[in-house]
Structure 1
């Protein structure tokens, strides 16, 4: 049978995959290109797509590529690793992309019953990044009500999609994972404590090294400064009046802090500086309330932060508003002064006016970017990552 004809088995595999993973927003991205009618039920649109493939209105290779790539968009977790590529070069990924028919398995031939281990199904370039698309054998748990009213937990095999991105411009490898609910394991690897997906991310790093060669992961030690800097940028008042009065008062505040502590037999320079910084922060917040905050074009806010000191962890979250101004903003800023930021929740408005929320976490050997349960295009995550890279450049100069 010709490779340009989709078989009944491949149709069943494709429909099962689409039923599990394809959302309406995935479909809206291709309806104009493929001239598919926007229907109420996703399954009706799936059927229309399959019919178009059968009649060669959609080329089979194009459909296969789309099926292998579309899950890069969604409410995915992004594990970002700083790496030393050692001997691995961009040309190696370019050659893999050009010769992928030798190294990949057709996604249309894969289903939850015949997949063993992890399969590479596609390699493609997305802007400046090379992306490996994988499907892995996995299991989810399902609760079932039995005849006597008790609940029985059963497991079901699934195919689990994941992506590994190579960004040679920024020396990053990014593992993109679907936060599938009730996940039991992926290729035998279970989640860590508190639904931690990092063991699964590590498994895809391991699989990638087998296929393309080794690279060395480095702890991104700059992230603490970058998160702090991003938080300060996001909560900056942008008001020249506030800035001017704050600068004018700085020397007065420092003298007051030193004199007050020295009168109480406290001469430790670090304590004096910390005390002065807290007073300065409180003064700026009062000025902001008096003279107002001017919203910047960046439209970034902080809705959550978790700071960590040697013996204290403090988590703050705004209810209905961001931690930018007023008492919540003052408390958040004070907590950031002498602590490491471990998690930063940012609210961001994109140029198309759509708003997104993300949590950025400082992991053990990675940075984790998690969207707030909303469908999020890959380019939006990359925009957030570009903000971190900007602050990384500043951090490395310090």
Structure 2
């Protein structure tokens, strides 16, 4: 099948999807096939089509690129883990690819006026990292931009992406925040895309790979560690002085406080006073001796606790917290409520990618804090960094449970 063998209807369908390609995405083909970049996006799209028509760009490559037109937008990513311990152990990338490739419907056959169900339009195999990338097209409605004052809608093909990651053992759903989106598969969009994610995951588990969603319980501890690492001073001199202070001065101070006010004798009251004095002393030492910068996985720009009721953020642009301004506030939040969400900044050379990490009972999500697009490789890197926390945390709990089991066995034998 080639470009010139397509019907006029199919060519028109291609044009409609191609209109959604921005300059960043067109650069992929321009760089690989030496296609001229024009001043206007419309002219650049025509250059790409000319490249397809005259054989500079292989037709199959173009169609796959077209299917991924919204893969690298400012997407929300939903990460699902499996309850099954042997998830993805009984199949390979090649086997799953072959099993699903036969169900692909070419994207140029889809028309927004006639599309009624979620449809698989492309499967791509990646070897490093080992992944399958599924492109799904769904019937949708968007608000007609030409008449903002009316409730006029037009039919639209919504594109979502699912990555099966064999290395991480996860299924990752990418959803694009399409401007004016009103509904997908007749389901109205509310404030967040979370409430529509299940549509694509149901299609996936019904037609491609069935599994049971697992609660990512490790994430709360991981978020706490990320925050602690970012706000750690990493200065051994400060640690030395704080420990000396606790060992040589704290008991005397607490004794004087109790003597001064006999009502302050409850253990929890004394613990709070100790903690407060320690924090004040440590903060003063940081001002005097400074922090020591270390290579940490993420910077932090937002923190929410108490189910999101308490929030503290650095600014509106996703820039990282200042240590001096924020440490005490963040510490107070952590002490009084469980960490709920966190805003992390991932760095690639000098470029910053801010994301809000949120946990649900069935998945966790990465939500882009700015409107700029993100390369898929950046998402892969962020998820692998988070996965390192997961392995550390689960290995500690696994060791602890094994140790407790051995003690119970010894008690029974005794």
Q: 1:329 to 1:62 in 2, by over 3 A?
A: same
Note if contact 1:302-1:324 (Cα within 8 Å) is conserved in structure 2: no
Greater mean deviation of Cα atoms: 53-62 or 289-298: 289-298
1:156 shift after superposition: 1.4
Q: 1:75 to 1:234 in 2, by over 3 A?
A: same
Match for residue 97 of structure 2?
A: 97
User: SS of the counterpart of 1:29?
Assistant: helix
1:287 shift after superposition: 2.3
User: SS of the counterpart of 1:164?
Assistant: strand
Which of 128, 131, 148 aligns to 1:129? It is: 131
Match for residue 295 of structure 2?
A: 297
User: SS of the counterpart of 1:361?
Assistant: strand
Match for residue 352 of structure 2?
A: 355
1:254 shift after superposition: 5.8
Match for residue 243 of structure 1?
A: 239
Match for residue 161 of structure 1?
A: 159
User: Is structure 2 residue 27 aligned with structure 1 residue 28?
Assistant: yes
Note if contact 2:125-2:132 (Cα within 8 Å) is conserved in structure 1: yes
Match for residue 333 of structure 1?
A: 331
Note if contact 2:77-2:172 (Cα within 8 Å) is conserved in structure 1: yes
Note if contact 1:289-1:325 (Cα within 8 Å) is conserved in structure 2: no
Deviations 1:83-123 (A, max 9, x none): 13477636265324235442100012222122221010111
Note if contact 1:305-1:332 (Cα within 8 Å) is conserved in structure 2: yes
Q: 1:101 to 1:145 in 2, by over 3 A?
A: closer
User: Is structure 2 residue 171 aligned with structure 1 residue 173?
Assistant: yes
Name structure 2 gaps, 5 residues minimum: 398-414
Match for residue 224 of structure 1?
A: 220
Q: 1:153 to 1:394 in 2, by over 3 A?
A: same
Aligned equivalents of 2:248 and 2:13: distance in 1?
72
Q: 1:33 to 1:143 in 2, by over 3 A?
A: closer
Deviations 1:34-89 (A, max 9, x none): 11112221221111111111112211111111112343212110011221347763
Aligned equivalents of 1:346 and 1:278: distance in 2?
27
Aligned equivalents of 2:37 and 2:253: distance in 1?
66
Aligned equivalents of 1:275 and 1:392: distance in 2?
34
Aligned equivalents of 1:252 and 1:156: distance in 2?
74
1:207 shift after superposition: 0.3
Which of 381, 384, 387 aligns to 1:386? It is: 384
Q: 1:117 to 1:291 in 2, by over 3 A?
A: same
Q: 1:383 to 1:278 in 2, by over 3 A?
A: farther
User: Is structure 2 residue 19 aligned with structure 1 residue 19?
Assistant: yes
User: Is structure 2 residue 113 aligned with structure 1 residue 113?
Assistant: yes
Within 5 Å, give how 1:283-294 maps onto structure 2.
Answer: 283-294=281-292
Match for residue 370 of structure 1?
A: 367
Note if contact 2:229-2:296 (Cα within 8 Å) is conserved in structure 1: no
Q: How many residues align?
A: 387
Aligned equivalents of 2:388 and 2:242: distance in 1?
26
- Cα RMSD of the aligned pairs, angstroms, is 2.7
User: SS of the counterpart of 2:151?
Assistant: strand
Within 5 Å, give how 1:47-126 maps onto structure 2.
Answer: 47-85=46-84, 89=88, 91=91, 94-98=94-98, 100-126=100-126
Q: 1:278 to 1:81 in 2, by over 3 A?
A: farther
Aligned equivalents of 1:271 and 1:379: distance in 2?
50
Note if contact 1:301-1:324 (Cα within 8 Å) is conserved in structure 2: no
Note if contact 2:83-2:211 (Cα within 8 Å) is conserved in structure 1: yes
Match for residue 46 of structure 1?
A: 45
Aligned equivalents of 2:271 and 2:392: distance in 1?
23
Aligned equivalents of 2:137 and 2:249: distance in 1?
60
Deviations 1:300-341 (A, max 9, x none): 3211111117xx821001138633412322111221133221
Q: TM-score, normalised by structure 2?
A: 0.84
Q: 1:256 to 1:226 in 2, by over 3 A?
A: farther
Greater mean deviation of Cα atoms: 86-95 or 388-397: 86-95
1:131 shift after superposition: 1.9
Deviations 1:166-219 (A, max 9, x none): 223333221110011322111122234xx1211211111100011124200011
